[in-house]
A and B are shown apart, each in its own frame.
Chain A
Amino acid sequence: AQSVTQLGSHVSVSEGALVLLRCNYSSSVPPYLFWYVQYPNQGLQLLLKYTTGATLVKGINGFEAEFKKSETSFHLTKPSAHMSDAAEYFCAVSVAAGNKLTFGGGTRVLVKP
């Protein structure tokens, strides 16, 4: 069975500072990895995903994540936070195309002016 751990349920960053959200996964087979964002009163929107190939994945809104198999990690970064990045971010893993997503607990990001 797969699992996901997100370190830090809340992260506070200053506008313009680096955003780093940590995600570690456990999977018995090569994983598919995802980051979703949830803005207040909205559904989950895909930021980026890793399936195969290049381990550095670029997504929407300037976010990127790097798959590190040796560390079983898929941390999400953005070089410069914007006020509009305030949201909750979820890391998720799947073990096959079409299979269920297993989510981490989420990290709520607060951006200070």
Chain B
Amino acid sequence: EPEVTQTPSHQVTQMGQEVILRCVPISNHLYFYWYRQILGQKVEFLVSFYNNEISEKSEIFDDQFSVERPDGSNFTLKIRSTKLEDSAMYFCASSTQTSLSTDTQYFGPGTRLTVL
């Protein structure tokens, strides 16, 4: 069964450093998403991406964040200058061309980011 994959599974970085989290969505999917879950808190939406552009972003997704689909298979989340409060589990998700009855987001296993 096709699945969303994410690398790395764990990332430890120093405050102020740039990190890139990588995701490989399911191959025929067209919508891509990033969510994050700070320990003990809700899963929160960050950004959605369709047709090579951001379709929606949350207030969390400020200028420190960016997304890219560099090569038609990978989908990346970049944090330019990490802060302590960026420590969280980051989930990538993808979904097919949407219709009223087949909109399911498939999630990857997550990348745990720790900012020291």
A residues contacting B by CB (< 8 A) are 32, 34, 36, 41-46, 49, 51-52, 90, 92, 94, 97-106
- Out of A34, A42, A52, A103, which one reaches B109, CB within 8 Å? A42
- Residues of B60-105 at the interface with A, using a CB-CB cut-off of 8 Å, are 91, 93, 95, 98-101, 103-105
Flag if A52 contacts B103 (CB, 8 Å): no
Distance A41 CA – B110 CA, assembled complex (angstroms)? 9
- Out of A42, A46, A90, which one reaches B43, CB within 8 Å? A90
Residue of B nearest to A53 (CB): B101
Flag if B50 contacts A44 (CB, 8 Å): no
Distance A46 CA – B48 CA, assembled complex (angstroms)? 19
Which residues on B sit within 8 Å (CB–CB) of A32?
103
Flag if A43 contacts B33 (CB, 8 Å): no
Distance A34 CA – B31 CA, assembled complex (angstroms)? 18
Residue of B nearest to A92 (CB): B43
Q: How large is the interface on B (under 10, 10 to 19, 20 to 34, 35 or more residues)?
A: 20 to 34
B residues contacting A by CB (< 8 A) are 4, 31, 33, 35, 41-45, 48, 50, 55-56, 58, 91, 93, 95, 98-101, 103-110
Distance A45 CA – B104 CA, assembled complex (angstroms)? 10
Q: Nearest Cβ in chain A — how far from B22, in angstroms? A: 15
Residue of A nearest to B5 (CB): A43
Which residues on B sit within 8 Å (CB–CB) of A46?
104-106
- Out of B44, B56, B104, which one reaches A99, CB within 8 Å? B56
Residue of A nearest to B109 (CB): A43
Flag if A94 contacts B107 (CB, 8 Å): no
Distance A98 CA – B51 CA, assembled complex (angstroms)? 13
Contact flag A101-B45 (CB < 8 Å), given A41-B109, A45-B107: yes
Distance A102 CA – B31 CA, assembled complex (angstroms)? 16
The 7 A-B residue pairs with the shortest CB-CB distance, nearest first, are A97-B98, A98-B98, A44-B107, A97-B103, A100-B45, A43-B109, A103-B43
Distance A106 CA – B42 CA, assembled complex (angstroms)? 7
Flag if A98 contacts B104 (CB, 8 Å): no
